[in-house]
Amino acid sequence: MTITQLHYVLAVAEYKNFTYAAEKCFVTQPTLSMQIQKLEDELDILIFDRSKKPIQLTEIGSKIVNQAKNIVNEAGRIKDIVEQQKGYIGGEFKVGIIPTIMPTLLPMFLNTFITKYPKVNLIIEESTTEEIITKLKNGHLDCAIAATPLEEDSIKEIVLYYEPFVAYIPNSEELNKQEIEVSDLDLDTILLLQDGHCFRNSILNLCKNNSHFNQNHFQIESGSFETLIKLADEGLGITLLPYLHTLDLNDNNKSKLRNFKNPKPAREVSLLYPKNELKIHMIDALRNTISGIVRGAIAFNDVEIISPK
């Protein structure tokens, strides 16, 4: 039995297809199939039921896969231990970031991180929260940045910062005070991101605390904050923005922003990683880089966290 064979078993278990699993493992399909067959012969059992489409794990195969995940993770930990002992921070590092955080946070820390850690091959991808959870569990991401809490048993969360919500109200005559409350908003005119964005869910949860909230009035939805701002400027409603997104607005648009009174409604943004804590030295480096930069950008301390669920 080899670690390589276990990697192949995990790939087939995930993709339920020998050919696709071989492509993901960068080997030929005959090579992958032969190694899995050798392992099955050695153990004198069948890990996969090849008669079903897609391929399914046998009962004993499911137990073997669960144990294989532990073995592969522990094998990876050996390399981590050696690298930490040497003080080496480098190698491939895969990070997922949700769409409502990526455009504002990434430019803030990326240059600093890659300059400080030039040996890290940083691979960043934009993914929804649901996709991030799946990829973290399957080992396709080393860590991620998303709105929390998620309360996933196999995933750890370390809070990076709390980001307040800011109201964007083009018609200042409707609301001319500088600090507002949720009850001041005309909830029937709030523009939202499309379904699937956790920021949308946070806003819905915020609005549900208002007795006049009627979700049926949320008619206009978009995939980006920029579109929501343009729709609001056209007189189609108002919207709520995450604070960091407001920093790059032009002066004219900034004049249309209204901060909330304390405690300010906000979202919790955290660094997520699997509980096996592989590559923890790189995760710590990323956390320290982001925390150092964002701490200077967000001055709000008195916030009320709104869960994305």
Provide the residue-wise pLDDT of the chain in tens; the chain has 309 residues. Answer: 899 999 999 999 988 999 989 998 999 999 999 999 999 999 999 999 998 888 899 999 999 998 998 888 778 777 777 776 777 788 889 999 998 899 999 999 999 999 999 989 899 999 999 999 999 988 889 999 999 988 898 899 999 999 988 888 887 655 567 788 777 776 667 777 654 456 666 666 665 555 444 444 444 455 678 888 888 888 888 888 889 999 989 999 998 888 888 888 888 999 999 987 778 889 999 999 999 898 878 865 566 656 665
Residue 218 lies in a domain: yes
Task: Write out the residue range of the structural domain in which residue 289 sits.
Answer: 89-161+269-300
Nearest to 55, CA basis, from 13, 104, 23? 13
Label residue 37 exposed, middle or buried (CB < 10 Å: 0-12, 13-18, 19+): middle
3-class state of residue 167 by DSSP = strand
Shared-domain flag, residues 157 and 285 = yes
Q: Is residue 306 a part of any domain in this protein? A: no
User: Do 151 and 186 fall into the same domain?
Assistant: no
Residues 259 and 290 in one domain: no
Asked which of 84, 110, 135 is the last residue of a domain, the reply is 84
Residue 222 has a pLDDT of 54
* pLDDT at residue 234 in the model: 86
Token pair 């407001």 is at which residue?
246
- The answer to whether position 22 is within a domain reads yes
Which residues fall within 8 angstroms of residue 134, CB to CB, at 6 or more apart? none
Please tell me the distance from the alpha carbon of residue 264 to that of residue 308, in angstroms, as a whole number: 16
Q: 143 in a domain, yes or no?
A: yes
The rounded distance, in Å, linking the Cα atoms of 57 and 46 is 9
Integer Cα distance of 260 and 244 in angstroms: 15
- Domain of residue 248, CATH code: 3.40.190.10
What amino acid occupies position 176? Answer: N
The number of folded domains in the chain is 3
Same domain, 17 and 166: no
Of 69, 84, 99, the domain-final residue: 84
